[in-house]
């Protein structure tokens, strides 16, 4: 009888492990971007960034990410996600949430020196997000004057 319970326990552990791995894969599969009235929220797996529109200083497109040293994160196929460090400025953290390395990336500079590279798997959605971010930045800059 004890043998039957052990098999049930191992089956539970295997199924539970597969479910957790599946959920982690789904979380990292793409960037989850939510635009709110006052901020942009980017969720990519375990990484969460909240960027208030009032703190945006630069918004633009770049073709390539500069060479960076990974602090933590991962690369898989055309995805690159994690926290990186610039070799010239070792104390500066750069956040990279790129779903497609071969497409253009949005470069955001906020909070005086924080830098974030972001794109979505669909290049049209990336362009729409860029347009929205530029509009928010321009609107806030014009309202301050």
Q: pLDDT digit of tens for each residue in the chain (145 aa)? A: 456 667 888 999 999 999 998 888 777 778 889 998 889 999 888 889 999 999 999 999 999 998 899 999 888 888 889 999 988 888 889 999 999 999 999 999 998 889 999 999 899 999 999 999 999 888 877 776 5
pLDDT for the residue 26 = 78
Q: Kind and range of the H or E element at 16?
A: helix 2-29
Q: Which two tokens stand for residue 69?
A: 């040293």
Residue closest to 99 by CA, chosen among 76, 115, 116: 76
How far apart are the C-alpha atoms of 106 and 92, rounded to whole Å? 19
pLDDT for the residue 92 = 87
How far apart are the C-alpha atoms of 96 and 65, rounded to whole Å? 9
Its pTM stands at 0.81
pLDDT for the residue 125 = 93
pLDDT for the residue 145 = 59
What tens digit of pLDDT does each residue of 48-80 get?
Answer: 999 999 999 999 999 999 889 999 988 888 888
pLDDT for the residue 144 = 64
Domain edges within the chain: 1-30, 31-144
């Amino acid at each position: 009888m004890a043998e039957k319970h052990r098999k049930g326990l191992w089956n539970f552990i295997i199924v539970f492990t597969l479910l957790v791995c599946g959920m982690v894969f789904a979380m990292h599969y793409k960037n989850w971007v939510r635009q709110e009235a006052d901020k942009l929220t980017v969720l990519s797996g375990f990484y969460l960034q909240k960027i208030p529109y009032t703190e945006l200083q630069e918004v633009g497109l770049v073709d390539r990410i500069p060479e960076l040293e990974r602090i933590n994160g991962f690369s898989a196929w055309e995805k690159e996600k994690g926290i990186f460090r610039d070799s010239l400025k070792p104390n500066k953290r750069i956040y990279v949430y790129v779903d497609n390395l071969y497409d253009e990336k949005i470069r955001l500079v906020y909070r005086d020196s924080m830098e974030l590279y972001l794109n979505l798997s669909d290049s049209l959605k990336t362009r729409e997000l860029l347009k929205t971010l530029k509009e928010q930045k321009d609107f806030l800059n014009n309202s301050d004057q």
